[in-house]
């Protein structure tokens, strides 16, 4: 009985933490994302490679390449953890991984573009 209680407590804390993490990451469709980034002083970050970034990006996004592990944390440490961060990548997979890393770094408000840059209908 005691072991069962310990297992249930462990599982509860495990799943509780996961729910808390996903609450900090909001996935927005392109229209919602466009509206959200049209405000002043946002932290907009493109986590694609420099080559992908140079082919086109959204607004004045910073380029912090997810695959450049040595620079990823250093560059994100320069951002304000209290302000929302808007992430995107090519299709949404890298930005989801980046969002999880940002949660671990202490960021609390993260918005991710559903479908990534491929789904962005507002390209110029």
Q: Closest Cα partner for 34 from 101, 102, 124?
A: 124
| Residues with a known catalytic role | 89
Please classify residue 111 by burial: count the beta carbons closer than 10 Å to its beta carbon, then call 0-12 exposed, 13-18 middle and 19+ buried.
Answer: buried
Contacts of residue 33, Cβ cutoff 8 Å, sequence gap at least 6: 86, 88, 111, 113, 114
Instruction: Report the distance separating Cα 15 and Cα 35, nearest Å.
Output: 32
């Amino acid at each position: 009985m005691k072991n069962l209680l310990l297992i249930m407590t462990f599982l509860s804390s495990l799943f509780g933490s996961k729910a808390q993490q996903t609450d900090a990451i909001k996935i927005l469709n392109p229209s919602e994302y466009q509206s959200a980034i049209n405000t002043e002083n946002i932290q907009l970050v493109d986590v694609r490679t420099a080559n992908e970034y140079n082919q086109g990006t959204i607004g004045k996004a910073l380029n912090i390449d997810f695959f450049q592990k040595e620079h990823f944390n250093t560059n994100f440490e320069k951002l304000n953890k209290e302000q929302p961060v808007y992430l995107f990548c090519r299709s949404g997979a890298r930005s989801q991984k980046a969002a999880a890393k940002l949660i671990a770094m202490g960021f609390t408000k993260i918005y991710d573009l559903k479908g990534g840059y491929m789904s962005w209908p507002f390209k110029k």
